[in-house]
Structure 1
Amino acid sequence: MSRRRPAGVRRRQRPLRTRLALAASAAVALVTLGVCTAAFFVIRYEMFHQLDLNLTQSATRLIQEHRGEGPDVLAGECRFLSAPACAQIVPAAPADDPAAPYLLPVSAPVREVAAGERAPYFSNITLFGRPVRMLTTPLGRGRAVQVALRSDTVQRGVRQAAGLLASVGLTGVLVAAGLGYWVARTVLAPVTRLTATAERIAATRDPRHRIELPGPAGGRQDEVTRLAASFNTMLGELEQSVTAQRRLVADASHELRTPLTALRTNAELLARSERLTDAQRDRASGALGRQLREVTGLVNDLIELARDEEPRPLLEEVRPADLAEHAVTTARAHWPAVPFLLDTDPAARPVTRPGVPARLTRLLTNLLDNAAKFSPAGSPVEVGLAVRAAALELTVRDHGPGIAAQDIPYVFDRFYRAEAARALPGSGLGLAMARQIARAHGAELTAEAAPGGGALFRLVFPAEGAGPSAG
């Protein structure tokens, strides 16, 4: 009694390597069998066709030799022409038959050929226990000639060819199976490594694993190898993203620990306000407000920094010159002790670029706040906007202590602070956020030491038509 498989249980599917090997083997096997079958029929046709040509030549020779003779059985026995053969002449009327018996069978179609009522034809008969091929063709004057040749040698040759071709076909199928398995194993080797790597990453949650690629890096690569290379590139991007996320979480938790501890301390202190004097209560309240603003600003910066790209519908044509004037005006109100000097090239005033005004304003504000924070009282912050080689360049320079050479590679890292900035307010996220906004708009933000002292930040927008890379 057979058991049915439950509806929810599906038959386990064969691995891709096995299916590909079977498909390749079946394709080659079908081609091999088809070629062998076609070769068999061609050989069989050619061998019998050659036998028929021999019969035709023998009949032609007999016709030329007995054109004027009457009905006759040639020597009354089989004669050897070009091969073991029998030949006889048959009249159309049975009354004209010779006295000797016919060696070859005479039927009504033979009489019809003799009478000219039927075309010549070939037939297969058995004579003296051997297979024979016979041709019946008209001789003229109401006669037909029959010529027969033994066909057992031809049939033996056909059987030998069939056996040989069957052996070749079977060997071809076995070779096709081996080649199919080898091809499947070779072609799917990168896919196998890719699968193993993906499973290992899923098990360990470690994106540092990579797929080993065959051959030199600059050599010719097929589609599967390019897939593996793309997967390695994706793993690299994933590793960078995971590393950056972990570093952001670690840095954010470290930066938030101090203000949160201070907030808790001041909150506990204000909870016992009846034990404090009015001056102590005011100082604690003021400290609590400052720390709340600091934490709020840090959280807002983290939220802004966590945005990877701008939604494309928010893009619009903006004029950087107007944004720079607005940002400088706002900075003058926020930093009254620091003079801000804006120098805009007339050629840069009408220039527009696709972008998000609020985000670009935040970028400029961060640069100006950073410059003002390091500028001594009375020292100006110089802002310049000009068009250079079809690109729009904005510079912000201060006259503070500048940037040490060892700090320049890390200026835009999250939460990084140089030795000179440890005692200054800020979260260490402003410049990181500025670079992220710049790259989202297809621009490049760099930092360098300014000639004569101070720091110089250079924001270069691409030429018109280059556009933002991420919306």
Structure 2
Amino acid sequence: MALAATAAVAFVALGVCTAAFFVVRGQLYQQLDLSLTQSARLAAQGERDAAPGTLAGQCRYLAAPACAEVVPADPARDPAAPYLLPVTGAARAVAAGRHAPYYTDITVAGHPARMLTTDYAKGRALQVALRSDTVQDGIRQAAHRLVLVGAAGVLLAAALGYWVSRTGLAPVTRLTAMAERIAATRDARLRIELPPPGREDELTRLAGSFNTMLGELEQSVTAQRRLVADASHELRTPLTALRTNAELLARADRLTPGQRDRAQAALGRQLREVTGLVNDLIELARDEEPRPLLEQVRLGPLVESCVQAARTHWPAVPFTVRCTGEVVLAGVPARLTRLLANLLDNAAKFSPPGRPVEVELTPAALTVRDHGPGIAPEDLPYVFDRFYRASTARALPGSGLGLAMARQIARAHGAELHAEAAPGGGALFRLVLGGREGAEREGGGSGGDGAARGE
């Protein structure tokens, strides 16, 4: 920016100085030409019918009378004495009336001079000359001073441009330093200091956007660390059990057939639990939206299929389905199936034997209700959190990831999942279709980010 400002000022200074030089030069020559005109008028008044030849032979500095001579149109009428000023064919033409008066630069006795050739009388022309030393000296001094002024202006512009650039780009410098510091320390809690309100500009908005990005990065890193910590905690127990059973089976020759069968069954069950937990973690760690795989999914048949699978998995729990209207949602069938399966499994897990799980699909929402113990008010705000399990659910199978995964899938499909206490007892999960704005309208009493018991 400093170089650009300097170049721009240098270009302008060059143009201004050049224009000023020609203006000064023109003014000085105009003054000299006015003196020549006055000298010619004085010479013509003094010698109205002078014969060809020299009238005044001394060239003075801008003074009258100046060097003056009369030139005839016919060279045959020239005097015997040589002319002091040069006589050209143009001067003869002025004397003959065929050429307009004109100015020309000449040299007289080794000195620069300016000469005016004008008409004098019939068949004669008058030539008047004045020395132009002072004019040329003035032009050289003006050029020298203009060069100095222009150079000083360019240097001043360079200094001011550098200062303005450093001052104006200070937020960028701070942003760069902060980015380098974050890259070195990996501390996303750092922020760029912003000026007080009312002094916002483009760079301030850039710094504000950078701080917003750092806030999002900090939240992402915090969530990642929390996920890793929670996953490590949840995996420690099943992995320890797996190791114990594996070591026990390694000494199978010391076990009875019944003990060996129980250890093998426990090992297989624990492997399935760890596999499911790892798959859930992988699913939760996916941040990308399912847009590349979107297709129009008819929710009615998908709900029927998921309920049929739940009946097979929970034979002691009756399921009722009610669909009103055709509902089509743009999404990924596999992930929507996972969402519905998690909701149905969570409801069936807490449903007493013989009491139904009621599933209802409308164009506005999908609801899943059970008739179990319901949702404790103190658990409601936390059940969609990862690995959260209410005290009443800790003895039941599950990892606490099912509902968290269900909400993530719902939000990826532009829907919102809420949980609430069902009228008359039990828990009710409401999947509001059509985005989070619709969720705020349709999901009254859902408890915000809270949810149910956790799978």
Does the C-alpha gap of structure 1 residues 81 and 254 become closer, same or farther in structure 2, counting only changes over 3 Å?
Answer: closer
Does the C-alpha gap of structure 1 residues 66 and 343 become closer, same or farther in structure 2, counting only changes over 3 Å?
Answer: farther
Q: What secondary structure is seen at the aligned counterpart in 1 of 2:66?
A: strand
Q: Return the alpha-carbon distance in structure 2 between the equivalents of residues 290 and 52 of structure 1.
A: 115
- In structure 2, the partner of 1:24 is 5
Task: Output aligned runs, 1:220-239, within 5 Å.
Answer: 220-222=200-202, 224-239=203-218
Letter in 2 for 1:420: T
Q: Return the alpha-carbon distance in structure 1 between the equivalents of residues 122 and 65 of structure 2.
A: 28
Q: Could you give the per-residue CA deviations for residues 81-109 of structure 1, whole angstroms, max 9, x where no partner exists?
A: 97673433222345534577755444565
- In structure 1, the partner of 2:272 is 293
CA contact (8 A) 2:407 2:417 kept: yes
CA contact (8 A) 1:73 1:98 kept: no
- In structure 2, the partner of 1:411 is 383
Which of 396, 403, 412 pairs up with 1:440?
412
Q: Return the alpha-carbon distance in structure 2 between the equivalents of residues 35 and 367 of structure 1.
A: 80
CA contact (8 A) 2:60 2:130 kept: no
Q: Return the alpha-carbon distance in structure 2 between the equivalents of residues 410 and 369 of structure 1.
A: 19
CA contact (8 A) 1:403 1:448 kept: yes
> Are residue 335 (structure 1) and residue 319 (structure 2) matched?
no
Does the C-alpha gap of structure 1 residues 103 and 413 become closer, same or farther in structure 2, counting only changes over 3 Å?
Answer: same
Does the C-alpha gap of structure 1 residues 80 and 282 become closer, same or farther in structure 2, counting only changes over 3 Å?
Answer: closer
Q: Residue 259 of structure 1: CA displacement?
A: 0.6
CA contact (8 A) 1:208 1:235 kept: yes
Does the C-alpha gap of structure 1 residues 62 and 380 become closer, same or farther in structure 2, counting only changes over 3 Å?
Answer: farther
Q: Could you give the per-residue CA deviations for residues 129-148 of structure 1, whole angstroms, max 9, x where no partner exists?
A: 75432111233422111122
- In structure 2, the partner of 1:355 is 331
> Are residue 147 (structure 1) and residue 128 (structure 2) matched?
yes
- In structure 2, the partner of 1:91 is 72
Q: Structure 1 regions of 5+ residues with no counterpart?
A: 1-19, 467-471
Q: Residue 150 of structure 1: CA displacement?
A: 4.0
Q: Return the alpha-carbon distance in structure 2 between the equivalents of residues 54 and 252 of structure 1.
A: 102
Does the C-alpha gap of structure 1 residues 371 and 156 become closer, same or farther in structure 2, counting only changes over 3 Å?
Answer: same
- In structure 1, the partner of 2:36 is 55
Does the C-alpha gap of structure 1 residues 423 and 178 become closer, same or farther in structure 2, counting only changes over 3 Å?
Answer: same
- In structure 2, the partner of 1:244 is 223
Q: Could you give the per-residue CA deviations for residues 276-311 of structure 1, whole angstroms, max 9, x where no partner exists?
A: 333333322222221111111111111222222245
Q: Residue 78 of structure 1: CA displacement?
A: 6.2
CA contact (8 A) 2:43 2:65 kept: no
Q: Return the alpha-carbon distance in structure 2 between the equivalents of residues 79 and 219 of structure 1.
A: 67
CA contact (8 A) 2:369 2:428 kept: yes
Q: Return the alpha-carbon distance in structure 2 between the equivalents of residues 82 and 447 of structure 1.
A: 109
- In structure 2, the partner of 1:385 is 361
Which of 372, 375, 386 pairs up with 2:348?
372
CA contact (8 A) 1:84 1:150 kept: no
Q: Return the alpha-carbon distance in structure 1 between the equivalents of residues 45 and 383 of structure 2.
A: 112
Task: Output aligned runs, 1:34-433, within 5 Å.
Answer: 34-56=15-37, 59=40, 70-71=51-52, 73-74=54-55, 85-97=66-78, 102-106=83-87, 109-116=90-97, 119-127=100-108, 131-216=112-197, 220-222=200-202, 224-346=203-325, 349=326, 351-387=327-363, 392-433=364-405
Does the C-alpha gap of structure 1 residues 50 and 446 become closer, same or farther in structure 2, counting only changes over 3 Å?
Answer: farther
CA contact (8 A) 1:79 1:87 kept: no
Does the C-alpha gap of structure 1 residues 109 and 354 become closer, same or farther in structure 2, counting only changes over 3 Å?
Answer: same
Letter in 1 for 2:351: S
Letter in 1 for 2:342: N
Q: Return the alpha-carbon distance in structure 2 between the equivalents of residues 245 and 109 of structure 1.
A: 97
Tell me whether 290-299 or 442-451 shows the greater mean CA deviation. 442-451
Q: Residue 53 of structure 1: CA displacement?
A: 4.5
Q: Residue 362 of structure 1: CA displacement?
A: 0.6
Q: Return the alpha-carbon distance in structure 1 between the equivalents of residues 382 and 127 of structure 2.
A: 107
- Identity level (%): 74
Q: Return the alpha-carbon distance in structure 1 between the equivalents of residues 133 and 65 of structure 2.
A: 11
Letter in 2 for 1:368: L
Does the C-alpha gap of structure 1 residues 125 and 76 become closer, same or farther in structure 2, counting only changes over 3 Å?
Answer: closer
Q: Residue 427 of structure 1: CA displacement?
A: 1.0
Q: Structure 2 regions of 5+ residues with no counterpart?
A: 439-455
Q: What secondary structure is seen at the aligned counterpart in 2 of 1:264?
A: helix
Q: Could you give the per-residue CA deviations for residues 290-348 of structure 1, whole angstroms, max 9, x where no partner exists?
A: 111111111111122222224534211111222222222222222222232323223xx
CA contact (8 A) 1:448 1:457 kept: yes
Q: What secondary structure is seen at the aligned counterpart in 1 of 2:359?
A: strand
Q: Could you give the per-residue CA deviations for residues 110-136 of structure 1, whole angstroms, max 9, x where no partner exists?
A: 345434565543222355775432111
Does the C-alpha gap of structure 1 residues 45 and 253 become closer, same or farther in structure 2, counting only changes over 3 Å?
Answer: same
Q: Residue 361 of structure 1: CA displacement?
A: 0.9
- In structure 2, the partner of 1:14 is none
Please give the TM-score of this superposition, normalised by the length of structure 1: 0.82
Does the C-alpha gap of structure 1 residues 49 and 407 become closer, same or farther in structure 2, counting only changes over 3 Å?
Answer: farther
Letter in 2 for 1:221: D
